[in-house]
Structure 1
Amino acid sequence: MSSPISAPGSTSDCHSRRRPDRKRNQNERHTLEAHEESLKNRKEKLLPTAKTRLLGLELLRIRTRAGLTGSDMGLMLNWNASTVSRLENGLSRAPAGEVALYLARAKATPAELDELVSLDRRPDDGYLVSAHPPGFPDGLPIIGMLEQQSTSITSYDPAELPHALQIKPYIREVLGHRGYDDQALGAAVRTRLSRLPPSSLASRVFTFYIPESTLHQRGEHPAVARDQMAHLTSVSLLPRCRLHLVPETAALDDIRAGFTLYRHEDHRPVLHHQQPTTSLFLENDADIAFYERYLERVAALALSRAETRDRLDHLSTVKR
């Protein structure tokens, strides 16, 4: 007996035509998803890292100091101007040995040559470690770069007031206890004050989580504490400067060193974790996520901005 033949337009005929269409749609969807994932990965790879940004910024500084344009440097290295620009903006890496040649053409000092060639050779794995004088990372070029280029900065330090909010006498007291002589102390104070002048506090979003215990640290001069408190009160009124006191009763004992999270829409977030004589800079996703969760805990326990202002006003009155 012959098999029945479905009439055109019958249910079985519709199903047979629908199967290839469904399979084709699935293939197209998978192809689109793969393309979007490829674009996402490509965009992430194009994002400059802290290492390439720092290297590029230092190369630009040295070239500019030598009075050379990007075109001048390109001619000397047989590069086009866009190659120089991409390297100086952290968007590409030079072939092995080319950074040393670049620095030689730009008349870098021997110390700069050693330091930047060493930086270029480091693996770009999301970790950078830099040594600095006790309690003073302020002179590190990467700190200046992050502060100038970031659109938002969030910090928490269980032991010390945020560096950007310290007044001159307070800085002298803090660093004076760490063994700085008069000459070094004077230079350190000037460097810290110049990092983030008051005008910069209104140019981007700052969020400072300040443990209340840091406000009660006894200095040698009560007037310094009083003036520092008054400065915090005035800064708390700036619209883009968000101060939040963290009560002494907050259970936040698992991280004892200060850290700052730098964000920028065109760069990966970078976390600065300060130790007494070294600083660690992190930008791997897992590390950033850990500290973001920690900041969420801090934020949940901190006072609001209005509560912080009221508390600062009260403490200022008590210290008079």
Structure 2
Amino acid sequence: MCELHEPTTPAVGRRTLIRGAGGLLLGGGLVATTATAAQAATSQNGWPAGSTSAIPVSGLSVGAATFPAGVRSGDVHTVLGYVARRFDNEVEALVKGWCWGHSYRVISGSTSLSNHSSGTAIDINAPRHPLGASGTFSSTQRSHIRSILSACDGVVRWGGDYSGRKDEMHFEINVRPGDARLAALARRIGGRGGAPTPTPIAWTTVRRGANGFRTTAIQHLLRQRGYSLTVDGSFGAITESRVISFQRSRGLVADGIVGPRTWTALVVTVQRGSQGQAVVAAQKLLTHRGYSLTADGVFGSMTATKTQAFQQSRGLTADGIVGPRTWAKLTA
């Protein structure tokens, strides 16, 4: 969990204390837990803070990740959900167990409550973007983050923009309760998290009679899926029959043509640590594109590096993971 936040804009007092009924911030980051104290507490950005029983909090799940304890209900949930979903779609996939939401605590070394305490902040893929580290995102990823922040019209702040110690995992609400900009943004992006409609993936259709790198990839992917055939780069009768069998197994039109729906079902997401025929296919495609690799079927550091270089050259998120969009560009 990130531990340091700067004052938001407009400035919020950094010395907001819990008061009443003995409600004082105690040494070591402990907080007095009386009801009056919880009701009086505010986080650094001016929002009422407290435990999940004291403030309205709703669960938040995006992609493979669930944010423990969720985030503040209502417009905050809509906006932070939007940020998380766009991050998952455009920057990098959210990782299970690496994303955090509400947490009632003070900022380390401060008397201010963290914005997590009011459910108005989230941390994304924290181990990959640790507190204090700078440059944990590629230039392409940062441009996508800028796009997300721009769409939020100043309502959301990124810890990577802190003037002091950076916190690149961290996104927080940057306006006070009642600010009309928050409600306007929530209305504009929609009440269900505002996940944008993904740009359709452009696949190259391959059919009987084709020869070359695309057919080679299809044959390796069919082998990955358990279909026996020789990888010779020639889309003949046997390859067509295997494609038809695969299509039938997936409830697709069994025409033997590898078009968008068949490609989508056939490709296998591979990344560092993966092994097998799908990795061989990815390695051969990368070599064809000018990123020379030994096609040994083991997705190691070199394959990840070459994948990232290819992704950067095509304007993709350079995460080193060969998912559908990267497959489509490799086989274009």
The TM-score with structure 1 as length reference comes to: 0.24
Indicate the structure with greater helix content: 1
Between structure 1 and structure 2, the one with the greater Rg is: 1
The TM-score with structure 2 as length reference comes to: 0.23
Bigger RCO of structures 1 and 2 (CA < 8 A, at least 6 apart) = 1
